[in-house]
Structure 1
């Protein structure tokens, strides 16, 4: 009898998800109470099943490949949905803060801040619904958004408005002879096709600098984390927002390709939903206050 779902081993998927979340086989092994060798075997079996690598094994650790990042995003979203359903059935739903956030915003901005928040508020519980798809706002207390805050009809607070630059793998500018913004016209470029977020595209970025539209090789993806991974792999250049890619540039994983930057036409902001509790509102105020150089809070009456 055929199986209703075309799934690999669930043990292999669970091992991969933990290893991808921590970017460490050892840490994943501690979480799942197995040995690092067991995690490695499960991940290798999954890679053999899928016919492609999910991690790049390096001397100092592992990194996700583009395929690995794509699978991790799907698994994390699915496991969180299962966990919420099980909590509901058990009657043990968590009385904490739930934040709806995109994959990129979670990985590059929100998650790194949570350690500081929990250090100040060790009893607080903050859960994330990480998704790049449209999910009803009612599922969360707070939503982290990118777009036109003035067009939003909710209770919103401005987080930051970034500058946008062109970034690529170390050595990318040298290989493609990029010394000024105009040179990016003919370079391979990674384009975002995500309809949920109003990402500035290459045509708009180059146009703001007085350059014609791009005409080089085009790579289209709908997930910003995958776009960044492709850029780190040297497949193309991608547009980067200061608040998101700054740590990657500082770590040497990406280079700013030219000096030119433009101010983002949209901003990152946090939306508070009617169901938000007092702890959720306190967490929102903390997020707003911690952004260095943040402009004053702007609110739109609901």
Structure 2
């Protein structure tokens, strides 16, 4: 059984723990968290072992998953550096670091932990909040020297969160804009559609349930159909019908441009944070 140590128990840290606890026969999960309310939640709701300092979590983990806020990473790495032995060979399993910190490249870990042994096993994940139900697309990138055993283990961990999408690290900002941030754009679209249903006369609850069913059906159709989204749109549109009127309204509001620009802006911001 491999020991996974999660550092940070915010929204994504909790999502990770929730997903990985389903694999209790494979992983022993612990975490490091300093906020009292989050510690109580981790212990009472999830039954997790909570460590108060980096040294303890390092001593009790084979793979570390870093899930802190970007602005907190430098301070954390300084603490980790002081906690590391002269090398990582004391673990029964190859030591590895998985980072889900937005806007922080793997080089940051190599820089801070240089001189503390073998730090070749580093992976970077970019999931979204649907990881809590194991339905997230998970952007995955590996350091150049990561060994195959660590890669296999990291992919298994990514599969606990959803579906891994392996990309080079320079494309992680694109995954961030499209999926990490994009799920919020989907929620906003769902809300807007539901409010549209209210305007058309439905109660909000009924409208929202209808939208969720529609989205589920649309996703299933995209999975099963060989047609792309543009072709499916044309199957719904009829001359002088209701759908073309709605499409016209979307185009008046520059719908396509606005969505493309939202993804581009989020991806560019993710790239800026890496600089």
TM superposition score category, shorter chain reference: under 0.3
Structure with higher Rg: it is 2
Please give the TM-score of this superposition, normalised by the length of structure 1.
Answer: 0.23
Name whichever structure is richer in helix by fraction.
2
Please give the TM-score of this superposition, normalised by the length of structure 2.
Answer: 0.25
Name whichever structure is richer in strand by fraction.
1
Greater RCO structure (CA 8 Å; 6+ sep): 1
